[in-house]
Structure 1
Amino acid sequence: MIEIRKAADRGVAEHGWLSSRHTFSFANYFDPEQTGFSDLLVINDDRVAAGRGFGRHPHRDMEIFSYVLEGALEHRDSMGTGSTIVPGDVQLMSAGSGVAHSEYNPSPKDPVHFLQIWILPSESSLGAQPRYQQMHVGPEEKRGNLRLMLSPDGTDGSLALRQDARVYAAHLDGEETASLTMASERYAYVHVAEGSVTLNGIRLGTGDGAKLRGETSLTLTEGNGAQVLVFDLRAQETPPMR
């Protein structure tokens, strides 16, 4: 079964310096039918004006994943990490027992467009030591291919995620095809970050998402400037309450 989450139905937040679209309930946006999916809690599609950003604030027991689509994002945290993330970079901050961070657009003139994604950690990793990971994945690695970016054990050079989940990214155009075989007891979520693509015969556009339950495979075809994220998740409906 495939359930579509249309881009136009997402939550909207406009703060002048920040324009955000919320796939799932977040901050002042609440939809009881969209409180997350399996361990995937947040997909925020954020555009931040030049010279602006999110000031220092705390998190704990959350896997926070940032994926830049355009521009640059400057990261600072209480672990002493400082980095600038650009398209192709993959950033994962495991908040664990507690960490404070800021995310800032260092450009004096250009906005930054990025996705911020939250995944709940496993019960066994609650209160773990905070950590930061980052790597670069060039477009050639994602061209017509679902490139593994996050996994529980860091398989194939991916970043190590403290949850039984895997995150893939693909770039697709024209006749390029990317497929993923899924175990029958797994769920998946597909998010179209840019462009358009066909998922198992269903056309999706920019910002659209899809919840997959009971599917044994997913196939992405007919991409038109498509950047797609695919989440392989445990078979449960919404993130567990803690």
Structure 2
Amino acid sequence: MAQTVLHQAATRDKSDHGWLKSFHTFSFGMHYNPERINFGALRVLNDDWVSGGKGFGEHPHDNMEIISIPLEGALQHEDSMENVAVIEAGEIQVMSAGTGIYHKEFNKDKDQPVQFLQIWLFPNQRNVTPRYQQLRYDNLMKANQFTQILSPNKDDDGVWIYQDAWFNLGKFDKATKVDYQFKNKANGLYVFVLKGDAKVEGQDLTERDGFGIWDTESVTIEAALDSQVLLMEVPMNF
């Protein structure tokens, strides 16, 4: 029988630094909840808003897969691998931190906030050579279908990471139903509603709700309103 966990948007911890407003689905920084450490290999899901011209100064990471998905606006990125890039809404960025990297990121626009998802996954290999990848996916998306934007395979659609994980993103008209088949039946699926309302296996979800499901091989997602939904299939044991 499928097992599930519901994380409603209002139950997330919040950090407000003035220039940064961040909602944490899982424990992060000063915010610790022993019941909300991770969902399988999914360790961090932060919903960040950064004021115009502000950002994160240089800081280190190691042995983590770090994914950024801008939803509105653009992020300026610089790192110790000598990458300098702008990541815009409709793009996805991944860094395999491996043996260690430094990077900084800030809102490229001086006047408008940038909104983005910051996602961390535990890797399936430690101390790899750090790497960077960035990809535009919005030109690949089709209405009322999920589009794969991340996988463990270099030759698949989307960016790739050192973990047996698959991300899919979709925009759906009201009353659309879509079935998702797990790539690996030992994995779990974390559903995050970006916009609108959706129902997953009978569970009603509203904007920014998260819902994890495992011990099953497929799920049905129904858009209760015009909706945008992110699916993150990740190993539950790693």
Fold similarity call, TM over 0.5: yes
Larger displacement relative to structure 2 (144-153 or 51-60): 144-153
Change (3 A) 1:94 1:45: same
Change (3 A) 1:83 1:178: farther
Identity %: 37
Match of 2:46 in 1: 44
Q: What is the CA distance between 1:139 and its match in structure 2?
A: 5.8
The alignment's TM-score, normalised by the length of structure 2, stands at 0.93
Match of 2:21 in 1: 19
Q: What is the CA distance between 1:2 and its match in structure 2?
A: 2.3
Aligned counterparts of 1:76 and 1:149: Cα–Cα separation in 2: 22
Aligned counterparts of 1:10 and 1:196: Cα–Cα separation in 2: 18
> Is residue 92 of structure 1 aligned with residue 85 of structure 2?
no
DSSP 3-state at the match of 2:38? coil
- Matched-pair contact (CA < 8 Å) for 2:137–2:158: no
Aligned-CA RMSD value: 1.5
Q: How many residues align?
A: 235
After TM superposition, the structure 1 = structure 2 runs for residues 1-242 of structure 1, keeping only pairs within 5 Å, are 1-122=3-124, 125-138=125-138, 141-182=141-182, 183-236=184-237
Q: Which has the higher helix share?
A: 1
Write the letter of the residue equivalent to 1:40. Answer: L
Aligned counterparts of 2:176 and 2:236: Cα–Cα separation in 1: 29
Aligned counterparts of 2:140 and 2:101: Cα–Cα separation in 1: 34
Aligned counterparts of 1:222 and 1:193: Cα–Cα separation in 2: 12
Aligned counterparts of 2:127 and 2:234: Cα–Cα separation in 1: 22
Aligned counterparts of 2:142 and 2:7: Cα–Cα separation in 1: 24
Aligned counterparts of 2:140 and 2:149: Cα–Cα separation in 1: 14
CA offsets per residue over residues 65-86 of structure 1, 9 Å max, x none?
Answer: 0011111111111111111111
Aligned counterparts of 1:222 and 1:169: Cα–Cα separation in 2: 13
Q: What is the CA distance between 1:142 and its match in structure 2?
A: 4.8
- Matched-pair contact (CA < 8 Å) for 2:151–2:159: yes
CA offsets per residue over residues 4-48 of structure 1, 9 Å max, x none?
Answer: 110100111010000100000000100000000111000000000
Q: What is the CA distance between 1:209 and its match in structure 2?
A: 0.4
Q: What is the CA distance between 1:196 and its match in structure 2?
A: 1.8
- Matched-pair contact (CA < 8 Å) for 2:151–2:157: no
- Matched-pair contact (CA < 8 Å) for 1:145–1:177: no
DSSP 3-state at the match of 1:8? helix
- Matched-pair contact (CA < 8 Å) for 1:47–1:112: yes
CA offsets per residue over residues 158-213 of structure 1, 9 Å max, x none?
Answer: 21110111111111122333321125422111111222212122221111001102
The alignment's TM-score, normalised by the length of structure 1, stands at 0.92
Q: What is the CA distance between 1:154 and its match in structure 2?
A: 2.9
Question: Runs of at least 4 residues of structure 1 off by over 6 A?
Answer: none
Change (3 A) 1:225 1:52: farther
Aligned counterparts of 1:224 and 1:114: Cα–Cα separation in 2: 22
